[in-house]
Amino acid sequence: MPIQLFRAENFRCLESVEFEADRQFNLIYGANASGKTSLLEALAYLGRGKSFRSAPTASLIRHGEGSFTLFGKAENGGRLRSIGVGNSSEGLEIRVDGEAGLGSAALAEALPLQVIDPEVHSLVSGGPEGRRRYLDWIAFHVEHEFLGLWRQFRRALKQRNAALRDGGRGLAAWDTEFVSLGEKVDRVRRSILDLCTSSLEEQGEALLGAPVGFEYRSGWTEGKSLAEAIADARERDLTQGATGAGPHRADIRLVYDDRQARRLVSRGQQKLLASSMILGATEVVQSALERPLMLLLDDPAAELDQDSLSRLLLQVFALGSQVIATALEPNVLEFPESPATFHVEHGRLTRV
Ligand SMILES: Nc1ncnc2c1ncn2[C@@H]1O[C@H](COP(=O)(O)OP(=O)(O)OP(=O)(O)O)[C@@H](O)[C@H]1O
Ligand SMILES: [Mg+2]
């Protein structure tokens, strides 16, 4: 089971909560502003070292306090791991199994998770950055060398941009580095999207009832090599002092029902399409890691009709992930068997 025991102190409205999770089904219900999202956000923070709402970390500290602490015991490859995250004026302190001073990659490895919340539609309707991050999350878990490769690429991009701003001094050397690393990043991403395609198509069709297509866009002109693309754009790059083409501009093009999805589908359909992407990614990563992930569903009923909600839950439960879901009332979400149920009120959690 991904998370067994969880504690949060002074995180948003949560003064001090302890939560013993069920290995599969967990329901947290409570009125508006009771603390449901705060609890899921705290759980997600433990696995990511950042907020899923992209809220600045300082705003997550409970008003009037100086720091928050999060602690969890998570099962990972047959052993129980202790994970701790604390925030103070000195910054973020991450500990896994007593080892201090770690980065957020250690959290992602110890507690892999995905989130479907009322903002999930932005994966479809928002800009390409969210979709790149989505794909890179899968790559991080499936291809062990991806994180190192990505960091090297980012460094080469930064250096190339610095050379462009310096009137092109030393540009040729950075071009070579940028192209070589950029093409590697591109190859990994393409192979990851290929690996995910059948899961994504299945999830998409199950949730939307029509075929959904996912195509990788490399971030430079189709049919050209990266070297050709940056040579073509050299003058413009020099004027702008920034590299206009490359994997940092990549995207996933979504096609639903012959329409380019992000512009032409309704909010509810965007939510279903984005959820199908989350579920497909969860399925692929679970199978690569050979263990279930923690799947956080914040108010899944929002914006969905009863039929769509049922289809979403059916797909969610079929994954065998550890599900932690929130709702306004205890009977809104139908679980396959009765979940561990918690009531939240004024930031306090009670097992029902
Ligand atoms: N840093 C903070 N310190 C104290 N309280 C906070 C902090 N950040 C947010 N809150 C408050 O926590 C309360 C609970 O918010 P939360 O988003 O968890 O509610 P919720 O149960 O998810 O509500 P909804 O059903 O409307 O989604 C809100 O009243 C919010 O203003
Ligand atoms: Mg909420």
SS (H, E, C) 193-245: HHHHHHHHHHHHHHHHCCCEEEEEECCCCCCCCHHHHHHHCHHHHHHHCCCCC
What's residue 262's pLDDT? 61
Q: Cα–Cα distance between 245 and 136 in angstroms, integer?
A: 18
Contact assessment for residue 347 and residue 14, using Cβ atoms and an 8 Å cutoff: yes
Report the residue among 17, 37, 63 best suited for mutation to probe ligand 1: largest number of ligand atoms under 8 A from its CB.
37
Please give the structure tokens belonging to residue 188.
Answer: 């990994």
- Compute, in angstroms, the gap from residue 45 CA to the centroid of ligand 1: 15
CA dihedral sign, ordered 340, 343, 344, 349: negative
Q: Which residues make Cβ contacts (< 8 Å) with residue 281, sequence separation at least 6?
A: 114, 134, 137, 138, 196, 199, 200
Burial (CB < 10 A; 0-12, 13-18, 19+), residue 64, is: exposed
- Which of 3, 271, 273 has its CA nearest to residue 112? 3
Instruction: Write the pLDDT tens digit of every residue in 275-334.
Output: 999 999 999 999 999 999 999 999 999 999 999 999 999 999 999 999 999 999 999 999
- Which of 316, 274, 285, 321 has its CA nearest to residue 138? 285
With a cut of 80, say whether residue 83 has pLDDT above it: yes
Report the residue among 10, 11, 13, 29 best suited for mutation to probe ligand 1: largest number of ligand atoms under 8 A from its CB.
13
Same fold across 1-112+300-352 and 121-292:
no
The pLDDT > 70 percentage for the chain reads 98
Q: Whose CA is nearest to atom 28 of ligand 1?
A: 33
Q: How far from chain centre, in Å, is Cα 255? A: 21
For the segment 190-200, the average pLDDT, to the nearest whole number, is 98
Q: What residues pack around ion ligand 2 (CB closer than 5 A)?
A: 36-37
Tell which CATH classification among 1.10.3720.10, 3.30.420.40, 1.10.10.350, 1.20.1050.90 matches the domain 121-292: 1.20.1050.90
With a cut of 70, say whether residue 50 has pLDDT above it: yes
What's residue 57's pLDDT? 86
What's residue 260's pLDDT? 63
Q: Where are the alpha helices (DSSP H) in the chain?
A: 36-48, 104-110, 122-125, 128-142, 146-165, 171-208, 226-232, 234-240, 261-264, 267-289, 306-318
Contact assessment for residue 72 and residue 111, using Cβ atoms and an 8 Å cutoff: yes
Instruction: Write the pLDDT tens digit of every residue in 224-238.
Output: 999 999 999 999 999
Q: Whose CA is nearest to atom 3 of ligand 1?
A: 62
Q: Which residues line ligand 1 (CB under 6 A)?
A: 12-13, 30, 32-38, 59-63, 299
With a cut of 90, say whether residue 31 has pLDDT above it: yes
With a cut of 80, say whether residue 148 has pLDDT above it: yes
Q: Report the DSSP beta bridge partners of residue 322.
A: 294
Q: Whose CA is nearest to atom 31 of ligand 1?
A: 33
With a cut of 80, say whether residue 135 has pLDDT above it: yes
- Compute, in angstroms, the gap from residue 33 CA to the centroid of ligand 1: 5
Q: Whose CA is nearest to atom 24 of ligand 1?
A: 32
CATH topology of domain 1-112+300-352: Rossmann fold (3.40.50)
Q: Report the DSSP beta bridge partners of residue 255.
A: 213, 260
With a cut of 90, say whether residue 206 has pLDDT above it: yes
202, HSE (Cβ side, Cα atoms, 13 Å): 14
Burial (CB < 10 A; 0-12, 13-18, 19+), residue 114, is: buried
For the segment 106-113, the average pLDDT, to the nearest whole number, is 96
Mean pLDDT of the chain: 95
- Which of 120, 95, 98, 140 has its CA nearest to residue 40? 120
Cross-sheet strand order for the sheet of 251-256: 212-217, 251-256, 259-260
Q: Whose CA is nearest to atom 25 of ligand 1?
A: 32
Which residue ranges make up each domain of the chain?
1-112+300-352, 121-292
Task: Please state the φ and ψ torsions of residue 233, each to the nearest 5 degrees.
Answer: -95, 10
Q: Cα–Cα distance between 328 and 63 in angstroms, integer?
A: 24
With a cut of 90, say whether residue 52 has pLDDT above it: no
Kindly give the number of the ligand 1 atom that is closest to the alpha carbon of 63: 3
Report the residue among 9, 10, 11, 12 best suited for mutation to probe ligand 1: largest number of ligand atoms under 8 A from its CB.
12
For the segment 235-244, the average pLDDT, to the nearest whole number, is 97
Q: How far from chain centre, in Å, is Cα 228? A: 33
